[in-house]
Structures are given as C-alpha cells and as structure tokens.
Copies of this chain bind each other. A is one copy, B any other.
C-alpha cells in the first residue's frame, strides 16, 4: 500500500498543514484535496501541497484510501452522510480534525454500522494566529497532542495505520474515548472560552457607568480575555456540540463562585486565603509549566521603555556563541513592557550574558 491516495477534504490551516506533513513523510502517496472555493485549491497545487485538487468531492472520495475531513463538526457530519451514500473503496480509512468528538463519532458509528468503512476521530490540538491554507505549516502539530478517538470496531492496526500516515506531524498521539475528550476539553478549553468572553461583556457593561474602566483593563485582564477575540463561528459551534459538558462546567463554576461570595460576605479571611493558596499550589504543580522550555536558564533584565534597548542588549551578546533558547519582553507593568527575559541552554551561557550586560549597562539583572 505504498501508493495510497489520501484525500484532504477542506483546505484551511489544519487541512493544509496535514497535507504538508503527510507529503513530507510519504512523498510517494498521492494527495488529493477537496475544497469548495478555488483560491485555496490553486494555492495548494502551486505550492505542491497536493497532487490533485477539485471541488468535486464524490469523484475524489471514491478514489481515496484515506479521507480526512477538516471542517466544523456539523459540516463534517454532512460529509459523513455523503460518504455513506458513495461507493467508497473497500476498507477506506476515514478521520477528521474537529474540536469536539462525541457528535461526529455517534454519526460515524451509526452511518457506517453495516459497512466495512473504518472511522477514527481525530483532534490535532494546535492552532496559529493565522488562518487559511496560506498559513499552513508542516510543523504546526510538532509536539502537540493529537487525540485519536477510536470507534467500537476500530482495531489496533487501524490506529497504527493512521499514526503512520500522520507520523511526520511529529505530534504526540493519545487515544481517548469521544466522551472523555469532550469532557476534558470542556474544562480546559471550551468553558474557559465562555469565561473570557463573559469577562469582556462584564467590563463593557460596567464601562457604561464608568468609561475609564477600559483603561484599567490590562495585565491579568488582558491575558484572561485574549482568546475572546477568536472566531465566533468556531466557538459557538464548539459549544453547541459540547453542550452538556459546558453546561455542567457552568453549574460547577457558578457554585464555586457562590462559595467565594459567601466567604467574602462572612469575612472568612483565612478560608479565602486558603482558596487562593490552594489554587496557587495546584497551578504550580500542573504540567502547564513544562514544555520545550523546561530545564533551561532564564536571565531577567529590567529595561527602560525605549525602542532600541533590545537591539542594544543583543549587540552586547553577539559574537559570544551564546545558545539563546528564547527571548521575550514580559508585560509585567500595566500597559507597557518592562522586563526582558532571555532563556539560555546552559548555565555557563547565562553567566556569560549576565557578565556582558553588567559590564556594558547599569540595568538591573536577575536570575
């Protein structure tokens, strides 16, 4: 089966990035792409992401060994219905990349009950600030979780086959039930999204009485509401397709806020302290801190609010072969930037940089 035909249905950021990764890992595969509008198809052909592209879904589908649907969940379900009516190849392997998994798994299991079609749900958990196939990137999923939700009749070899096709995403594949996936992402993603948008509404409502409020909406508020600027189409659809779990989170969160309210009203200072202290402790233990940057060495430099200061500091460091892993300005002050954080691979490099900066400047430097 070295000459598999893979159909990427839906050429957006995710579909395009999957195409790039599959092509990188398996140059011998025939990649086809379905997309309704023309521009992404032309881009994909021109950039050689795929070998063939068309707006004729049926014709591409019947020739495919593997089909990956990259649409919002409800649209993917429409395409599943279409696939169930087509004379697909024997043993075709179908997957998707939607953000929720229960609805699509239920549809697939029901639609393909009497067919040899193999369906495995998929959710590559990565995104970008850019959208569209033009922003697609073979590296988009590198080290990201890629959740696979098998159907009851899925066999280990089917999972292995899909993982092999997707191997050059360099993602971390995890198998979960659709129910578990949706319950967990409700907690870590879908409900927090509601919270972010509700915080914006609340600040806006309040600003009608006190317009200066918006000027103070910085720092923590800025971080907490950043995701409220994401696509309303995508998020309203995700919420609708994960309704029960999100409603359950709203209920539990409301109950928790009620407890805090009672503590405040009863002046239970010590228990309020515990509420914050436990949260602090719990978060510090979360794997949230791990990732590519673990075990490296941070140097913090208090820099003035001047546009050439990074350039100045990088000049002092240049020519010393320092392995800079990351560099960023932390927005620790409200409204402006203030502390430059440079991350090094080794403690030696950190110490060299510290000495260089202290020699050339009077900026405060912390480790």
Q: Which residues of A contact B (CB under 8 A)?
A: 125-130, 135, 137, 139-145, 174, 176, 180, 183-185, 187-189, 191-206, 210, 212-233, 235-237, 239-240, 243, 246-247, 249-254, 256-258, 260-261, 264-265, 267, 269, 272-280, 282-284, 286-288, 290-293, 296, 300, 302, 304-305, 307-308, 310-311, 314-315, 318, 322-330, 332-339, 345, 364, 366
State in angstroms the CA–CA spacing of A253 and B277 once bound together: 23
Residue in B200, B291, B314, B323 whose CB lies within 8 Å of A336: B291
Least distance between A255 CB and chain B CB atoms (Å): 10
- Kindly list chain B residues whose C-beta atoms are within 8 Å of the C-beta of A144: 333-336
Least distance between A354 CB and chain B CB atoms (Å): 15
Majority secondary structure, A binding face: helix
State in angstroms the CA–CA spacing of A264 and B235 once bound together: 12
Contacts A217-B288, A222-B288; A129 near B282 (Cβ below 8 A): no
State in angstroms the CA–CA spacing of A196 and B213 once bound together: 20
Contacts A304-B139, A335-B143; A279 near B183 (Cβ below 8 A): no
- Kindly list chain B residues whose C-beta atoms are within 8 Å of the C-beta of A174: 212
State in angstroms the CA–CA spacing of A328 and B342 once bound together: 10
Is A139 a contact partner of B305 (Cβ separation < 8 A)? yes
Contacts A252-B202, A258-B254, A276-B235; A220 near B196 (Cβ below 8 A): yes
Is A214 a contact partner of B286 (Cβ separation < 8 A)? yes
State in angstroms the CA–CA spacing of A275 and B233 once bound together: 11
State in angstroms the CA–CA spacing of A327 and B343 once bound together: 13
State in angstroms the CA–CA spacing of A187 and B183 once bound together: 30
